[in-house]
Amino acid sequence: MASSSLQEILNQLDNRKVTRLYWIITILAAIGGFLFGYDTEVIGIAAVFVPFKFTGFALGYEIASASLGAAIGAIIAFFYTDKYGRKSLLIADAAIYSAAAILTSLSVNGIMLLTLRTIIGVAIGADSAVATAYITEYAPRDRRGSLAIMQQWMITIGIMGSYIVGIAVLAIAPSLAFTLDWRLLFAIAAIPALVGLVLRFMMPESPRWLLLSGKIDRLKKDFAKLGLNVDNSQIDRAIFEVRNEEKSKFDTAAKRALFIVSLWIIFQQITGINVPFYYGPTILLSLHLFGSSSNPVYSEISSVEAASILAAINVAATYIAFKYIDRIGRRSLGLSAYAGMLAFDLLGGILLMRGILIGALIAFAGFIVFFAYGVGGTGWLIQAEYFDTRIRGRMAALIAFIDWISNFVIIEVFPVMLSTIGLAGSMFVFTALDALALAIVYLLLPETKGLSLEQIVKLFGEHRVTEIKKYSKKELEKTKPLN
């Protein structure tokens, strides 16, 4: 995409001021992130009280079902989003999640619960695949990072929200924990999903996708929603230019981009973010900061209160990414984040070996801060930035699939690590993985702040993987400094 009328339209998109409408659209697009975060953690709270007895594979699948469903959802998005658009998939995801959340709360047996949990995962996976692709396609280039980071920030807020809801529901009606409360925990998720479903109908479609689709009537309507000053003849010429451009395919540029983003996504999952969230609350409880009880309801409340401290740190630290990713840049934040994660994983391993639990807890908190501001949201951003609009949806879906599979693998492998080398030994393994990730980011990750999506795609098409970092710096030097 790059000439005359078409380029004029893209320049308007890239250089517009972010208005209140942009934030509203972005929050609506990122509601799936909130549901993702909420669902990830609420199952751990509800599972304690679900009356259906699971054993063997089913016991683990109760927790992991949504992750497997999400991988399936990402595959569905791969075949759907570039053909039918971003908005339609986001609407379908919200509808599926709303229905499945309500039905999950009405489960009459274990099979029904596990099936619906998998369907919820399908909606989450498809939504996670397309949300940031949608956001980046209308975002001005100087605020693209902060707008796209809203997806990750909403995930962390969803996690925090699940803890708040869990504490409130269990505290208000502790005697109903095994009958009504666990159902309410699932059903409450339908409220934001239904709100998102209704309001997503009002969102504009991705302007870049509309240009490719040639849907003139929708183009005029949705361009007006975004405040673009484009006349009919300009739109007609732009569509003509798009139709006469060479169609993008999975070419060398896409392969280079996929290689770098896949590495980022895999290391994002396997460098130990599960450790502080799985074991931080246990350590907090062992310090008796929240009291103890033989009653399973009050014991679970204490556990959730402990987890909420780390969740609050996660929310606050993700704000740093939101605030600075377009100022400091993706590369600089990533380098400092992996360096910090390495230091705190190493410190945590040493302190655990010495039995200094409060120190290990501080190390966990430090790890979360660095992960949240420089790693957690950046993967969602670059999966959308690096690819041509014609294949962006499919590539984002493929990367989301890789993300969910990596998540599934670490869930399966981590217990084996614990049983063989212990928690301290596992921390040292994660330290080594942090070091490897740091080296990969240093050697390969380009800086893309302030560049248009088309400039980024061009970089991957013109330079080898090992040279893209260098040439992205030169491209940035040509770009007018941001105010």
> What residue numbers bound the domain in which 415 lies?
17-227+246-478
Over residues 24-41, the pLDDT tens digits come to 999 999 999 999 999 988
Q: Assess if residue 8 is contained within a domain.
A: no
User: In which band, very low, low, confident or very high, does the pLDDT at 88 lie, cut at 50, 70 and 90?
Assistant: very high
List the CATH number of the domain containing 335.
Answer: 1.20.1250.20
Q: Assess if residue 3 is contained within a domain.
A: no
Q: Assess if residue 193 is contained within a domain.
A: yes
Q: Work out the average pLDDT over 412-421.
A: 83
User: In which band, very low, low, confident or very high, does the pLDDT at 277 lie, cut at 50, 70 and 90?
Assistant: confident
Task: Give the percent of the chain with pLDDT over 70.
Answer: 94
Over residues 180-227, the pLDDT tens digits come to 999 999 999 999 999 999 999 999 999 889 888 877 778 888 888 888
Over residues 284-311, the pLDDT tens digits come to 666 666 666 678 888 888 888 888 988 9
Q: Work out the average pLDDT over 350-375.
A: 89
Q: Assess if residue 358 is contained within a domain.
A: yes
- What pLDDT score does 483 carry? 44
Q: Does the structure show a pLDDT above 90 at 264?
A: yes
Based on the number of CB atoms within 10 Å of its own CB, is 345 exposed (0-12), middle (13-18) or buried (19 or more)? buried
Q: Assess if residue 307 is contained within a domain.
A: yes
How many distinct structural domains can be found in the chain?
1
Paired tokens of 54: 């699971």
Q: Assess if residue 9 is contained within a domain.
A: no
pTM above 0.75, yes or no: yes
Q: Assess if residue 410 is contained within a domain.
A: yes
Q: Work out the average pLDDT over 129-141.
A: 92
Q: Assess if residue 214 is contained within a domain.
A: yes
User: In which band, very low, low, confident or very high, does the pLDDT at 1 lie, cut at 50, 70 and 90?
Assistant: very low
